[in-house]
Amino acid sequence: MTPSLARTRIKICGLTREQDVDAAVAAGADAIGFVLYAKSPRAVTAQRAAELARRLPPFVTPVLLFVNPTPTEVIAACALVAGATVQFHGDETPQQCWQASDAGRLPFLRAARIPLGEAGHSFDLLKYADQYSQAQAILLDAHVDGYGGAGQTFNWSLLPPNVDAHLVLSGGLTPANVTDGVRLLRPRCRSLAVDVSSGVEASAPDGSALKGIKDAEKIQQFVAAVRAADATPF
Ligand SMILES: O=C(O)c1ccccc1NCC(=O)[C@H](O)[C@H](O)COP(=O)(O)O
* Percent of the chain surpassing pLDDT 70: 98
Nearest CA owner, ligand 1 atom 14: 149
Q: What is the mean pLDDT of residues 123-129?
A: 97
Nearest CA owner, ligand 1 atom 13: 13
Reference 154, options 146, 164, 143, 162; nearest CA is 143
Reference 30, options 115, 137, 116, 165; nearest CA is 137
CA distance 167 to 67: 19
Confidence of residue 127 (pLDDT cuts 50, 70, 90): very high
CA distance 170 to 179: 13
CA distance 64 to 84: 7
Cβ-based neighbours of 46, under 8 Å, separated by 6 or more: 36, 64, 76, 77, 80, 81
SS3 sequence of 177-198: CHHHHHHHHHHHEEEEEEEECH
Whole-prediction pTM: 0.97
DSSP alpha helices (H): ranges in the chain?
18-27, 46-53, 71-80, 94-100, 125-131, 178-185, 216-230
| Ligand 1 atom nearest 111 alpha carbon | 13
**Structural domains of the chain, with CATH:** 9-230 (3.20.20.70)
Average model confidence (pLDDT) across the chain: 96
pLDDT at 1 over 60: no
Residues having CB closer than 6 A to ligand 1 are 13-14, 33, 35, 37, 40, 42, 65, 67, 89, 141, 146-152, 170-173, 195-199
